[in-house]
Amino acid sequence: MADQTNNADGAYKGAATMDKISSLAKRRGFVYQSSEIYGGQSGAWDYGPLGIELKNRIAQNWWREMTQLRDDIVGIDAAILMHPRTWEASGHVENFTDPLVDCKKCKARFRADQIPPENLSARKCPDCGGELTGTRKFNLMFKTNIGAVEDSSSVLYLRPETAQGIYVNYKNVIQSNRMKVPFGIAQIGKAFRNEIVTKNFIFRTCEFEQMEMQFFVKPGTDVEWFNEWKKRRWAYYEKMGVRMENLRWHQHGPDELAHYAKDAYDIEYLFPMGWKELEGVHNRSDYDLRRHTEYSKKDLQYIDQDDGNKKYIPYIIETSAGLTRTLLMVLCDAYDEDTPPATDGGADGETRTVLRFHPALAPVTVAVLPLMKKDGLAEIAQDIRAELKQDFSADYDHAGAIGRRYRRQDEAGTPFCVTVDYDTKEAGTVTLRFRDSMEQARIHKNELAARIRQEIKDYKRKV
For residue 302, give the 3-state DSSP assignment. Answer: strand
Binding mask 197-216 for ligand ATP (x = CB under 6 A): -------xx--x-x------
- Minimum distance, C-beta of residue 394 to ligand ATP, in the bound complex (Å): 32
Applying CB under 6 A, which of residues 14, 165, 280, 413 lies at the interface with ligand ATP? 280
The amino acid sitting at 27 is: R
Tell me the C-alpha distance between 155 and 284, whole Å. Answer: 27
Shortest distance (Å) from residue 452 CB to ligand ATP = 32
Q: Is 195 in the site for ligand ATP (CB under 6 A)?
A: yes
Euclidean distance between CA atoms 117 and 123, whole angstroms: 9
The verdict on 319 binding ligand ATP (CB under 6 A) reads: no
C-beta closer to ligand ATP: residue 195 or 410: 195
Phi, psi angles (nearest 5°) of residue 378: -60, -40
Q: Which of 279, 286, 333, 410 binds ligand ATP (CB under 6 A)?
A: 279
Residue 415 interacts with ligand ATP (CB under 6 A): yes or no? no
> Between 222 and 279, whose beta carbon lies closer to ligand ATP?
279
* Contacting ligand ATP within 330-349 (CB under 6 A): none
- As measured in angstroms, the least distance from the Cβ of 276 to ligand ATP is 8
CB of 351 to ligand ATP, least distance (A): 31
Tell me the H-state helices in 189-322.
222-239, 287-296
Contact status: 324 vs ligand ATP (CB under 6 A): yes
The span from the CA of 14 to the CA of 123, in Å, is 38
Single out the segment in contact with ligand ATP by CB under 6 A; choices: 24-32, 76-84, 316-324, 377-385: 316-324
What is the full DSSP assignment across 176-221? Answer: HH---SSEEEEEEEEEE---S---TTTTS-SEEEEEEEEEEE-TTS
CA 265/CA 187 separation, integer angstroms: 20
- Helix extents (H) in 315-446: 323-334, 377-389, 402-412, 422-427
Write each residue from 137 to 176 as x if it is in contact with ligand ATP (CB under 6 A), else as -, in one continuous string.
Answer: ------------------------x---------------
Select from 320, 414, 419, 431 the one that contacts ligand ATP (CB under 6 A): 320
Q: Is 263 in the site for ligand ATP (CB under 6 A)?
A: no
DSSP category for residue 131 = B
Instruction: Please tell me whether residue 321 binds ligand ATP under the rule CB under 6 A.
Output: yes
**Please, what sign has the CA dihedral across residues 34, 35, 39, 41?**
negative
> From start to end of 57-202, where are the E strands?
73-75, 97-102, 109-111, 136-139, 142-145, 155-158, 183-192
CB of 294 closer than 8 Å to CB of 167 = no
Query: Is position 28 an interface residue for ligand ATP (rule: CB under 6 A)?
Result: no
Distances (CA, A) of 352 to 347, 366, 406: 11, 19, 10
Size of the site for ligand ATP (CB under 6 A): 16
Gap between the Cα atoms of 16 and 31, Å rounded: 16
Q: Which stretch binds ligand ATP (CB under 6 A): 147-155, 172-180, 285-293, 317-325?
A: 317-325
Residue 278 near ligand ATP by CB under 6 A: yes
Contact footprint for ligand ATP (CB under 6 A): 161, 193, 195, 204-205, 208, 210, 277-280, 320-322, 324-325
